[in-house]
């Protein structure tokens, strides 16, 4: 069982059908994708990449990047995609942790790995050009469902990023479930504007498309006006809540734009009930909100046919056992808020080379502790009401305050800092840093931003830095972030 072989078995009957359509209407067929991925597979093998070797990839979104992902599956290598916004310092950490056989980047750079290759957005970029010239290697490595197909890094509250190991079985079962649950069929066209270095754009969107042998209109990034122009050629859009608030911000966006659309899906961050209602008022369509996590793919979903309720994330997927528990893992009664714990074929195989961290995140009976706080109502519908983890989600990107606090605390003149997420009209939440200066010191905002810029990806930089004399603490001496979140809740209000 190889994940690529599973995809191929689905689109084999439709090889000449489009896999990707670019905004100008150019078509890249499933046959083209099959061939390009076989050529990339040849290059991987030529560079000595073996089954279970890691391949770290930090490149712009392109069809070539998708073919490279599929080539890793063909070879049985473990694919590790990284956010293109990561700085060299962040990239070096991932390389040292993953110990890849090959690193593929957008620009050449020295890396601590046996091989480095450069893949641009165009077929003329070096690795892509080399692939086109290489003889295709059609071989597909035999794999088992428990084999790891990909590692996706997700940050931890302790600062160090953890690599979530996703098996072939995890990915296939989740994608098969979603194809059925969301009613994908041969007439669908998926509008794809998400990045492909996260579970949402890479696995949820692309796997549903490949298993259904349907085309993706493949866009390098999200642009509201472009999406509006392309909606009449599509049937399904998957996005983060910012997609929907930005579409609604276009005064001309209207029901007529959505005439061919059958489904708008939102996830990765909470969709405000007011956005859900405003979208329905404007288009007559209810966004289908679902909830997921890197470690488990999709976990719950509002129904395709039943009622989609604003502010809820729907029901546990058919294969997922979900319970709401207190901090000791005690199962709580329906209606009581607690942490979501889950079990099922979608739940990952653990954190790469972190057996102790993995063990901490699971209960003795095998349930994974998500850290999301929710209420389950009498009929099993889940509403997320908070987070037990110190996490900010801005525009669908996860940001761990500890990582930013560590950088700010190291700046001369800083005594301590607290980083929080506060409501933001475009991103849902945005990063605010509250900094306490040492006695007689006055660290400037410029110095603090420069420290962030040197080490952290742009999306993690504080959008506002507030220097204050002290931080609110509880009786145990712990910083009360909830108090800070209340104090600064209106910082981004217009």
Instruction: Give the interface with ligand AMP as residue ranges (CB under 6 A).
Output: 154, 199, 267-270, 289, 291-294, 313, 370, 372, 384, 387, 393, 398
* Helix pair 88-98, 445-455: axis angle to 10 deg: 40
8 Å CB contact between 324 and 374: yes
List the single partner that 245 binds among ligand AMP, ligand MCA, none, CB under 5 to 8 Å by kind: none
d(CA 312, CA 265): 13
Does position 397 interact with ligand MCA (CB under 6 A)? The reply is yes
The CB density around residue 13, as the number of other CB atoms within 10 Å, is 9
459 binds ligand MCA (CB under 6 A): yes
Nearest CA among 328, 3, 345, 36 for reference residue 173: 345
Smallest distance, ligand MCA to C-beta of residue 126, A: 26
Indicate which of ligand MCA, ligand AMP, none lies near residue 417 (CB less than 5 to 8 Å, by partner kind): none
Question: Which residues does 113 contact at the CB level (< 8 Å), separation at least 6?
Answer: 56, 95, 99, 100, 101, 102, 103
Least Å distance between CB 309 and ligand AMP? 12
Residues 190-249 that bind ligand MCA (CB under 6 A): 194-195, 198-201, 221-222, 240, 242
Q: How far is CA 407 from the centre of its chain?
A: 24
Nearest residue to ligand MCA, using CB? 395
Cα 216 to the center of its chain, rounded Å: 18
- Is 147 or 289 the residue whose CB approaches ligand AMP more closely? 289
SS3 493: coil
Pairing relation of β-strands 263-266 and 288-293?
parallel
Nearer to ligand MCA, 169 or 297 (CB): 297
Strands 397-399 and 392-394: antiparallel
Min dist CB 295 to ligand AMP, Å, is 7
194's contact among ligand MCA, ligand AMP, none, with CB below 5 to 8 A by partner kind, is ligand MCA
CB of 299 or CB of 414, closer to ligand AMP = 299
Q: Which does 384 bind (CB under 5 to 8 A by kind): ligand MCA, ligand AMP, none?
A: ligand AMP
Angle at 67 between CA 62 and CA 69, to 5 degrees: 100
Instruction: Work out whether 292 is an interface residue with ligand MCA (CB under 6 A).
Output: yes
CB of 477 to ligand AMP, least distance (A): 27
Residue 175 φ then ψ, to 5°: -65, -40
Partner in contact with 253, chosen from ligand AMP, ligand MCA, none, beta carbon below 5 to 8 Å by kind: none
Q: Which does 154 bind (CB under 5 to 8 A by kind): ligand AMP, ligand MCA, none?
A: ligand AMP
Half-sphere exposure of 34 (CA within 13 A, CB side): 22
Comparing CB distances to ligand MCA, the nearer of 56 and 178 is 178
Q: Which of 187, 334, 438, 458 is close enough to bind ligand MCA by CB under 6 A? A: 458
Shortest distance (Å) from residue 324 CB to ligand MCA: 19
Q: Mask 262-291, x = binds ligand MCA (CB under 6 A)?
A: -----xx-----------------------
Shortest reach from residue 268's CB to ligand MCA, in Å: 4
Residue among 125 and 268 whose Cβ is closer to ligand AMP: 268
Residue 156 CB contacts under 8 Å (≥ 6 apart), including other chains: 162, 357, 400
Give φ, ψ of 63 to 5 degrees: -65, -35
CB of 407: closest distance to ligand MCA in angstroms? Answer: 16
Taking CA atoms, 300 is separated from 181, 265, 292, 330, in Å, by 11, 12, 7, 21
Nearest residue to ligand AMP, scored by beta-carbon proximity: 294
Among 178, 320, 427, 471, which residue interacts with ligand MCA (rule: CB under 6 A)? Answer: 427
64 CB-near residues (< 8 Å, 6+ apart): 36, 119, 120, 121, 123, 125, 127, 128, 131
Q: How far is the CB of 42 from ligand MCA (least distance, A)?
A: 30
422 forms bridges with which residues in the sheet? Answer: 430
Q: Kindly list the residues in this chain that would bind ligand MCA in the complex (CB under 6 A).
A: 194-195, 198-201, 221-222, 240, 242, 267-268, 292-294, 394-397, 427, 458-459
């Amino acid at each position: 069982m190889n994940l690529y072989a599973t995809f191929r078995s689905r689109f084999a009957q439709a090889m000449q059908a489009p896999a990707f359509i670019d905004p100008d209407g150019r078509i890249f067929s499933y046959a083209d994708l099959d061939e390009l991925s076989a050529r990339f597979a040849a290059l991987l093998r030529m560079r000595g990449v073996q089954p279970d070797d890691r391949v770290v990839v930090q490149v712009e979104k392109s069809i070539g990047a998708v073919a490279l992902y599929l080539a890793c599956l063909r070879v049985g290598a473990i694919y590790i995609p990284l956010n293109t916004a990561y700085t060299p310092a962040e990239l070096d950490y991932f390389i040292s942790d993953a110990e890849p056989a090959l690193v593929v980047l957008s620009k050449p750079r020295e890396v601590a790995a046996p091989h480095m290759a450069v893949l641009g957005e165009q077929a003329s970029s070096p690795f892509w050009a080399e692939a086109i010239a290489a003889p295709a290697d059609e071989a597909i490595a035999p794999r088992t469902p428990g084999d790891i197909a990909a590692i996706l890094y997700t940050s931890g509250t302790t600062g160090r990023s953890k690599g979530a190991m996703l098996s072939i079985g995890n990915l296939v079962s989740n994608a098969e479930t979603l194809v059925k649950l969301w009613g994908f069929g041969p007439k669908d066209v998926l509008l794809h504007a998400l990045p492909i270095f996260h579970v949402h754009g890479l696995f949820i969107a692309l796997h549903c498309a490949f298993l259904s042998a349907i085309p993706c209109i493949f866009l390098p990034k999200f642009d509201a006006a472009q999406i509006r122009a392309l909606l009449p050629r599509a049937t399904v859009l998957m996005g983060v809540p910012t997609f929907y608030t930005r579409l609604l911000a276009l005064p001309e966006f209207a029901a007529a734009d959505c005439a061919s659309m059958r489904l708008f899906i939102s996830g990765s961050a909470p969709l405000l009930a007011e956005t859900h209602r405003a979208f329905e008022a404007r288009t007559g369509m209810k966004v289908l909100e679902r909830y997921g996590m890197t470690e488990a793919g999709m976990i719950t979903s509002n129904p395709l046919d039943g009622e989609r309720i604003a502010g809820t994330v729907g029901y546990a997927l058919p294969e997922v056992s979900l319970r709401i528990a207190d901090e000791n893992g005690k199962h709580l009664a329906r209606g009581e808020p607690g942490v979501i714990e889950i079990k099922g074929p979608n739940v990952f195989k653990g954190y790469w080379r972190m057996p102790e961290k993995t063990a901490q995140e699971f209960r003795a009976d095998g349930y994974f502790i998500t850290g999301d706080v929710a209420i389950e109502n009498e009929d099993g519908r889940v509403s997320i009401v908070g987070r037990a983890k110190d996490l900010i989600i801005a525009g669908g990107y996860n940001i761990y305050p500890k990582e930013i606090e560590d950088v700010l605390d190291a700046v001369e003149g800083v005594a301590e800092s607290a980083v929080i997420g506060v409501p933001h009209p475009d991103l849902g939440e945005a990063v605010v840093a509250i900094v306490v200066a040492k006695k007689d010191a006055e660290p400037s905002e410029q110095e603090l931003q420069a420290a962030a810029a040197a080490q952290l990806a742009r999306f993690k930089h504080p959008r506002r830095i507030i220097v204050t004399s002290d931080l609110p603490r509880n009786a145990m001496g712990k910083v009360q972030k909830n108090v800070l979140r209340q104090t600064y809740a209106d910082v981004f209000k217009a």
